[in-house]
Structure 1
C-alpha cells in the first residue's frame, strides 16, 4: 500500500476496499467454475511525494479515481451468479511518483506483470499531463498496454501512444468554453491570466498548463496577458479589475492566489474564473474554510453531470446515472455514502470519470468474451489480448457513443479524444460555503447524444432532494 502520511485515511481506506474486493473477486470467479471473464486493470497514479500544506488533504485525485474504479469493480462483483458473461475485475495499484517522475520505471514493472499475468488488459489513471506522463505513455505503447486517462487534457497527448484514450476533452475545448463565456455572456474582451505549475517546475514540462495558457491567449487575442504567479506575489493591482481574471495553474497554488486577493475585500475583481484543476482545491473543505468570503469563483468542471442534484434529476430517464447513483449510495462500498442527503459529501468528479473509464473497458472484455462463447467453458485470459480490448472499445464507440455517467463519450478516430463531451463552468458564490453545491452557468457539449452541439448558457439548476 502506498502513502502512510498522516491525514490520508480516506486514501488508505479505498486501497483497503480494493484489496478486499480483489480477494472477493477471486472467490466469486472460482464459484463460477472459472467461467466468468476475469480481467485486471492497473491504476497508475501519484501515490507519494505530493506537497501537503498544514490544512490540505493531499492525493484527492488519486483517492477519487480509485473510488470510481472500486465502484465499477463492486458493480460487477455483485452481479447475479447466473450471469456468466459479466466480467470480474481485479485492480492493481501502481505508483508513478511525484509529478509522474518515476512512471517510466513503473511501466517497466507493469510490462513484466502483463507478461506473467494474461488477465492484465490496460492501465487507468496517469493523473497529470506532464512530459513525464508523455514518456510513460510512449513506453506503454511500446509494451502494448492501452491507457485510458479519466482527466488528462493537455493538447496532443495522443501523439505519444496509438493505444491511448482520454475521457475528457482536450484543453483546446476548455479554452473555447472559457473564451465563449467571456465574450458571449460577460461581453469582455480583456483578460489577465495567471499560471502556476506546482513546485515551480518549468512551464514547458507542464503540458496541461502550457497548452491551456497557449489556447486561451490564442482565442482571447491581443487583449489577453499571461504571467506566472508565485507564492508571495501581490495582486492588489487586480482589485476592481473589470475584465476576465483567470487562474490557469495548478490547484496547489490556488489557496495562495486567493490569499493574494484578500486585500480586495471592498473592491474585488468582477470576474474571477479558474481552470478545472481548481476543483481539487474546492474538494478540500479545510482549505476553503479560510478563504476570503467575498470572492465568487467560477471554475471549469469536467464532470458536472455527476453532481448529486444532477444525478437525482436524471436518474429516472438515464439508466447509466441511475445505476451509478444507486451504487454510490450503498452503505457497504465507499467510506461515506454519497448523494444521500443535502449534507452528505459530494461525489467528486474524478469518481464518475474513473468509473466511466473502467466500465467502458469492462464492456469491451464482455463483448469479446461473448464472441468466444466463454460461458460454456472456463475462462482463458490468453484469448483476449490488451490490444484486442482496445480495438473492441473503438469498434463499440464507432457504432455509438459510450453512454457514461459524465455524458456520452464519442472518441475521435484520429486522436482518441472525445468530441462534444460536456465541459461546464460552475459558479461558487462564496468559497468558504462548503455546504452548497456549485451552480452550472455555462457549458459546451452534450448531456445526451441527441442534444444540440456547441456552447450554451445553462438552464435553471434542477431542484429536488438529493436523498
Structure 2
C-alpha cells in the first residue's frame, strides 16, 4: 500500500496551500486523530527556543493514514495565537521534476516564512535568494569572453534594485553603516562591488565569501565568486553534479536561518526569536520532493556539522517505515504529557551522535507512526502553540533605554577590544585579542598591527615577531594559490614576553626570542615547499603572552581557547612554549587540557608536569635526569668529595610555587645522596656573603633561576676576589643568562663555568659535525635554514665568530616542537583525505594530532635538530633517555668563544647507549 492515498474532500488547506488560515475537516470538530495530542505536545516543546544554548531539532516523519490529518491539526494550532505566533510554512510535495526537484518546495517555504505575519522580525533569505537568482540567469547566448562582465553587471544591478539585500545589510550592520554604504556605492560602484565580491574586506560581501568557503561544488576550483556564479547559470550548470546543487540549495536555505537565529551579544534581533521556524510538508507518493528534501536536510546536517533552527514535519499516509538506516521510532504519542515530550526528545538526542558516527542515512529522523484516521479521540493538547516572550533586554520598548545605558559600557568594551590605552592596536587587522592586566599586555596576536613588548632593547624580540607575521601572510597566499589543498594549521606560542625589570637596551627576552626563531624556521620550511606539494602543511603562528612568570596564564589560555573554537581555515593544532615550570604554568596546562589543546613545552623540565594535562608533551629531559647527570659528572669526572648547592626561585615567587627549582632540589638530594651532598641546599638572597665558598675544592652547584645568577656571580667576586671556587656548575636555567650578552659583560673574568644544556646537538659546531661525519639530513636541513638570508636577523652559523652567529639551544627545541606536531598533521591528513582534495579544517582536531604524535612515537620517534625525542609506552609526556649535556666556558664574559661540551647523558637516536660519558671533542 506504500504510496497509495484515499480520495479526500477538498479542504480550505488544499484550496489555499500557501496561506495560513484555519483549516476545516475533522480537526475543527472537537475530535482529532489519535496521537495528535501527543504530537501537539511534542511540537510545542520542540519549537520553544531554550536559553542560552539551542537544542538540536529532529526531522519528524509522520507515517500512517492519520498522518495528513494530524499535520493539519498541527497547522491549525500554529495558526491560532493572535500574538507571538511561531513562524511556520505549509507546502505540499509533488512529484520530483527536473534536475532540481527540491527548488519549488524550498521556494514555497521561503515565501511563506518571509511574510511578516508572525508578530516578529522578518526572516530574510539572502544566500538562498542569491543562489536561486543565479540559477535563473541564462548567459549561454553570449560570447564566452563577454560572460564574466555581463554576469558582474547583472549582479551589481541586482544589488541596486533588490530591497531585501539592503534591508538585511541595514539590519546586520546598522543604519549609519548602511547609509554610508549607499553613498559610497554611488560614487565608486564598480570598484566597491568588486571589493565586496572578493570577500576579503570584513563586513562587506559576506554572502559572496560564504559561497567560496562552503564545500559543495568545490568552489576553490573556480577561484573567484564570479567564476563560481557562472557555473551556476542556466546554460552552464548542466555539467555539474545535480546532487551537489540540491545540497547547496538546502545548505544556503539553512544558512539564512542560522544567521537569522544567531545570538551574538551585539544584535538583539536573534534574542527576540524565541521559537524555531516550522516547515509543514504534506507528502504524496513514495519518492516525492518532500521525501527528497528530508533526506537532503539529513545529509547537509551530517556533512557540515553545523546547527540549524529548522523543525521539519513531513506527513504521508504510507504506513510502512521510512527507508534507510537508523531512524528512532516514537510511539504512543497520545499518552505524552509535556514532561514526556521532553523525555522523548532526550532519548532521540542521546542516540543521535551514535547514529551519525555510524553514518546512518536517516540519523536525524524521528519517525512517528500515527493510527488510522477512523479512530478518534477528544481534541486536546495545547489550544495554540505560541512563541515565548522575548527576554526583557530584547524587548522593543526597552531599546532606547538599553542603547543609552550601553553607551558608557560600550566605550569601555571598545577600549578593551582594542587593548585599552596601553595595548592599542589597529582594528580588523588579523586575529588580535589583548587586554591590559597589571601593566602588561596579555593576549595573542597573529598580525603586525600588534607586537608584544615595545620596551627599549627588545628590538630583536619585535623583529622575530614581525618575521613570523610576514610569513603568516605568505603562508595564507600560498595556501590560496594551492587551490586550498595544502593542510593549513595554527600553532600558538605561549610565553612570557613582558614584565621583567631590565637595564637600558638590555635584551632581557633572549630565550623567548630564540623559541620564536625556532618557530619561524619551521614556518619558513613549509613556506618554501612548492604549492603543488599538497601534503606539506602550511603553518600560521599566533604569538601569545601570559605575562611575568605566567601570572596571567588563565586569561591568556581563555583567549587561546576562544581562538581555537572559532571557525577558521587554519584550525589550532596545539600550543607551544609555556616557558617556566611554575604553579601558574601547571594551572595553564590544566586549562589547556580542559580546552582539548595539546601543549608542547620546548624547555620545561620540572618533574611530573605531565600530571596537569593528558595532552602534554615536553621536548627536554626532566629534572631527575639533570640531577643524575650532575651526580655522574661529580663522581666520574671531577671526582670531588662533596657538592654544595645554592638555589633561588625568582622575584615575587616562592619555592612552593617554583616547580622547576623544587623538583631539581629533590632530584639532587636523591642522586647525590648523603655521601656527596654537603648539607642541605642553601637559599641565596641578594647581598648574601659567600666567603665560605672561596677556594672551595668541591663542586659548587647553582640550582636557581637565571635572573639571580648575575647577583650570585657578583657575590662570589665581592666575597672571594681572585680565589673563586674551583668548580662552578649551574643548571640549565642559566642558559637564559648565557644568551644575554649585556649581563655577561659584567661577569667575573677569572671564573670558568660549566652549565647544563638541553640541546647541545643543535649548536652550530654540533650541527656541522653531524652533517660532515654522519650525513645527518635533519641537521643539514635545519643548518641550511638558519643560514638563509632574511629569515633570522642576522643569519646564523656563517663562521663569523661573534655571539650573533650562534644558534641558541631554544631555537632547536622550539623548532623540533613544531616539527613534531607538523609531521603528525601531515600523516594524519594523508590518512583521512584523498590525494588532491581541498583542505577541510574539520578533518583534524587537536586531540587527534596529539594521539598521532604518540602513535608515531611507537613506530618511528621524531628525529630533529636536537636528536631523537622518545616517549615511553605509558603515555606520559616526559621523554626518556633524551640527550642532555654539560657545556663549559673558560671566561663567562667572553661572548665570542663558543662553549665546549664536556659531558653528556642520553641517546642521540633511539637505540643508542644512553649512558653518561665524557665528551671527546667538544661536540660529540
Q: TM-score range by the shorter chain?
A: over 0.9
Q: Give the 3 Å change call, closer, same or farther, for CA 449–459 of structure 1 in structure 2.
A: farther
Please tell me whether residue 78 in structure 1 is matched to residue 539 in structure 2. Answer: no
Higher gyration radius (CA): 2
**Contact in 1 for aligned 2:760/2:923 (Cα 8 Å):** no
Q: CA deviation at 1:189?
A: 3.2
Give, in whole Å, the separation in 2 of the partners of 1:170 and 1:462.
Answer: 22
Q: Which residue of 2 aligns with 1:65?
A: 515
Of the three residues 493, 496, 500, the one matched with 1:43 is: 493
Of the three residues 795, 812, 817, the one matched with 1:352 is: 812
Of the three residues 328, 335, 346, the one matched with 2:786 is: 328
Give, in whole Å, the separation in 1 of the partners of 2:547 and 2:923.
Answer: 40
Higher alpha-carbon deviation: 152-161 or 412-421: 412-421
Please tell me whether residue 226 in structure 1 is matched to residue 687 in structure 2. Answer: no
**Contact in 2 for aligned 1:174/1:423 (Cα 8 Å):** yes
**Contact in 1 for aligned 2:456/2:504 (Cα 8 Å):** no
**Contact in 1 for aligned 2:606/2:660 (Cα 8 Å):** yes
Of the three residues 641, 665, 669, the one matched with 1:217 is: 669
Please tell me whether residue 122 in structure 1 is matched to residue 574 in structure 2. Answer: yes
Please tell me whether residue 238 in structure 1 is matched to residue 693 in structure 2. Answer: yes
Q: Which residue of 2 aligns with 1:307?
A: 763
Q: Give the 3 Å change call, closer, same or farther, for CA 24–374 of structure 1 in structure 2.
A: farther
**Contact in 2 for aligned 1:288/1:432 (Cα 8 Å):** yes
SS for the counterpart of 2:542 is strand
**Contact in 2 for aligned 1:104/1:139 (Cα 8 Å):** yes
Q: CA deviation at 1:54?
A: 4.7
CA deviations 1:415-448 (Å, max 9, x no partner) are 2111111100111111111111111111001123
CA deviations 1:120-176 (Å, max 9, x no partner) are 111000000000000000011011000000000000100000000000111000000
What is the RMSD of the two structures over their aligned residues, measured on CA atoms?
A: 1.4
Q: CA deviation at 1:239?
A: 0.4
Give, in whole Å, the separation in 2 of the partners of 1:453 and 1:290.
Answer: 37
**Contact in 1 for aligned 2:900/2:923 (Cα 8 Å):** no
Q: Which residue of 2 aligns with 1:297?
A: 753
CA deviations 1:11-65 (Å, max 9, x no partner) are 0000000111101110000000000000001100011112224574211121111
Give, in whole Å, the separation in 2 of the partners of 1:99 and 1:423.
Answer: 25
Q: Which residue of 2 aligns with 1:180?
A: 632
Give, in whole Å, the separation in 2 of the partners of 1:26 and 1:205.
Answer: 41
**Contact in 1 for aligned 2:485/2:836 (Cα 8 Å):** yes
Q: Give the 3 Å change call, closer, same or farther, for CA 161–40 of structure 1 in structure 2.
A: same
SS for the counterpart of 1:315 is helix
**Contact in 1 for aligned 2:457/2:505 (Cα 8 Å):** no
Q: Which residue of 1 aligns with 2:776?
A: 318
**Contact in 1 for aligned 2:901/2:923 (Cα 8 Å):** no
Q: Give the 3 Å change call, closer, same or farther, for CA 451–132 of structure 1 in structure 2.
A: same
**Contact in 1 for aligned 2:642/2:699 (Cα 8 Å):** yes
Give, in whole Å, the separation in 1 of the partners of 2:648 and 2:697.
Answer: 22
Of the three residues 447, 453, 463, the one matched with 2:914 is: 453
Q: CA deviation at 1:376?
A: 2.1
Q: Give the 3 Å change call, closer, same or farther, for CA 7–124 of structure 1 in structure 2.
A: same
Q: Which residue of 2 aligns with 1:367?
A: 827
TM-score, scaled to structure 2: 0.49
Of the three residues 887, 892, 898, the one matched with 1:431 is: 892
Of the three residues 824, 827, 846, the one matched with 1:386 is: 846
Q: CA deviation at 1:200?
A: 4.8
Q: Which residue of 2 aligns with 1:197?
A: 649
Q: CA deviation at 1:462?
A: 5.3
Give, in whole Å, the separation in 2 of the partners of 1:398 and 1:184.
Answer: 34
Of the three residues 845, 851, 861, the one matched with 1:401 is: 861
SS for the counterpart of 2:452 is coil
CA deviations 1:45-104 (Å, max 9, x no partner) are 011112224574211121111110010000001112221100000011111111001111
Q: CA deviation at 1:5?
A: 0.6
Q: Give the 3 Å change call, closer, same or farther, for CA 200–217 of structure 1 in structure 2.
A: farther
**Contact in 2 for aligned 1:36/1:375 (Cα 8 Å):** no
Give, in whole Å, the separation in 1 of the partners of 2:509 and 2:556.
Answer: 18
Please tell me whether residue 286 in structure 1 is matched to residue 742 in structure 2. Answer: yes
Higher alpha-carbon deviation: 83-92 or 280-289: 280-289
Q: CA deviation at 1:256?
A: 0.9
Gaps of 5+ in 1: none
Give, in whole Å, the separation in 2 of the partners of 1:200 and 1:20.
Answer: 36
Q: Which residue of 1 aligns with 2:447?
A: none
Q: CA deviation at 1:106?
A: 1.1
Q: Which residue of 1 aligns with 2:717?
A: 262
CA deviations 1:233-252 (Å, max 9, x no partner) are 11122101111100011111
**Contact in 1 for aligned 2:554/2:588 (Cα 8 Å):** yes
TM-score, scaled to structure 1: 0.97
Q: CA deviation at 1:405?
A: 0.8
Q: CA deviation at 1:109?
A: 1.0
SS for the counterpart of 1:461 is coil
Q: Which residue of 1 aligns with 2:599?
A: 147
**Contact in 1 for aligned 2:457/2:504 (Cα 8 Å):** no
Q: Give the 3 Å change call, closer, same or farther, for CA 5–374 of structure 1 in structure 2.
A: farther
**Contact in 2 for aligned 1:104/1:136 (Cα 8 Å):** yes
Runs of 4+ displaced beyond 6 Å:
none
**Contact in 2 for aligned 1:35/1:374 (Cα 8 Å):** no
Q: CA deviation at 1:266?
A: 2.8
Gaps of 5+ in 2: 1-450
Give, in whole Å, the separation in 2 of the partners of 1:78 and 1:144.
Answer: 31
**Contact in 1 for aligned 2:870/2:910 (Cα 8 Å):** no
Q: Which residue of 1 aligns with 2:483?
A: 33
**Contact in 1 for aligned 2:640/2:698 (Cα 8 Å):** yes
CA deviations 1:292-350 (Å, max 9, x no partner) are 11111000000000111111111141111100000000012011110001424210110
Of the three residues 459, 464, 472, the one matched with 1:14 is: 464
Aligned length, in residue pairs: 463
Higher alpha-carbon deviation: 111-120 or 360-369: 111-120
Give, in whole Å, the separation in 1 of the partners of 2:619 and 2:562.
Answer: 27
Give, in whole Å, the separation in 2 of the partners of 1:266 and 1:146.
Answer: 50
SS for the counterpart of 2:842 is helix
Q: Which residue of 2 aligns with 1:166?
A: 618
**Contact in 2 for aligned 1:77/1:88 (Cα 8 Å):** yes
Give, in whole Å, the separation in 2 of the partners of 1:116 and 1:128.
Answer: 28
